[in-house]
Amino acid sequence: MPQERLPVNHPGSATVDKKALPLYIPSMRILGIDPSIRSTGYAVIDTTGNKTVSLTYGTIPNPPSRPPEFCLHQIYQKLSELILEFRPETAAIEKIIYVQSTRTAIIMGSARGAALVAVAGAGLAITEYPAKLIKKSATGHGGAQKDQVSFMMRVLLGLRENPPSDAADALAIAMTHARAMNHPKLLQPSLVKSRKSLVLRTRNRKVIP
């Protein structure tokens, strides 16, 4: 029986082209999380090489009247259900940002903690990315506004409408992780400028879904 020939750059192949980007890139399902006590954003994407598909995205709403402890339980429960339904292989979350208010830091940290417990409870590895890197990966501009991130997620994923800002952030977090795992060089400043011109054109312009 003839021996099966593996693709160039496949881990088991003897043929390696160091100058080329990998032709063999395993598929990956990623859960992206943008934690917030009142509106945690979530997204699950499938990625294979340069192709990325959104499976689901949305927010976990907690009304102002709901006590904080019940908000945390809602975040944990919803994320746990998502993990059971979509079976992501890994997760990504935004790194803690600096805030001057101690109260705000505690609230943000508690929401983040609820999300981390849900992910850890499912046995998933989780990777953190700073906010500026996420925005740069998504739009080519580290100081992009929320509406610009939302617009770019619609463009890049072929969505029918601009996703809500918190959900868009979660999509951007998941996509940042996909790029970091598959093509780390794509996160270098010189290679994300192509998106910067597009996102800057959306500034001061109303985007109609």
- What is the set of active-site residues? 34, 94, 166
Cβ neighbours, 10 Å, residue 202? 18
CA–CA gap between residue 187 and residue 34 (Å, rounded): 20
Helical segments of 46-130, H only: 68-86, 102-121
Measure Cα distances from 14 to 5, 6, 7, 19, 49 in Å: 10, 9, 9, 15, 21
Measured CA to CA, the distance from residue 83 to residue 96 in angstroms comes to 22
The helix/strand count (H/E) of the chain reads as 6, 5
Query: What tokens were used for 70?
Result: 């019940």
Q: What is the DSSP letter of 63?
A: -
**Cα–Cα distance list, 69 to 72, 112, 113 (Å):** 5, 13, 12
